[in-house]
Amino acid sequence: MTPLDFMIRTVVIGVTATIVFDLWNLLLHRVLQTPNPDWGLLGRWVRHAGHGVLMHRTIREARAFPGEARIGWLAHYVTGVAFAALLLLAAGPDWARNPTLIPALAAGLATLIPAWFLLMPAFGHGFAASRSPIANKIRTLNIVGHLVLGLGFYAGALLSAALH
């Protein structure tokens, strides 16, 4: 696979997976009234990280920045593309040409590691939402959501294979 082919496949897979993840969250919000992810808080964290502050007692109480919602949405999609790149590197060019479901689902579940052990503690929620009174509900929604992200990786890989 050429570097250009790798980059195109990575973007197609990552953006597709992130869109699928966002549509899933929208469906949950409309059907079950779950809160939508606030990507502005991710943008706030990114801005604070740029100033050397990685951990917060609670990200909601941290100083807000102008444009943090745009930064958060951009970071959300860049992260999806970065995870797609890792999936392609791990699964290899044969998988990119003939995608199968299991590596994509495994990659989706693997994305829980940075979510639970980096982002949630940095936001002040504790490891895997351990500081939340509804930690098990959050964990369940996270697991299902990241499996849906894995389905999105698979859908993006099928799309990418069809385009090539």
Q: What is the pLDDT of residues 64-102, one digit of tens each?
A: 999 999 999 999 999 999 999 999 999 999 999 999 999
* 3 state DSSP class of 149: helix
Q: What is the mean pLDDT of the chain?
A: 96
Cβ neighbors of 111 (< 8 A, separation 6 or more) are 83, 146, 149
Domain tally, the chain? 1
Confidence class for position 161, pLDDT limits 50, 70, 90: very high
Neighbours of 27 (CB within 10 A): 12
Confidence class for position 164, pLDDT limits 50, 70, 90: confident
Structural domain of residue 93, as residue ranges?
A: 3-163
> HSE of 75 in the Cβ direction (CA atoms, 13 Å)?
19
Q: What is the pLDDT of residues 26-53, one digit of tens each?
A: 999 999 999 999 999 999 999 999 999 9
Instruction: Map 103-134 to HEC letters.
Output: HHHHHHHHCHHHHHHHHHHHHCCCHHHCCCCC
Report the C-alpha dihedral over residues 9, 98, 2, 146, rounded to 10 degrees.
40
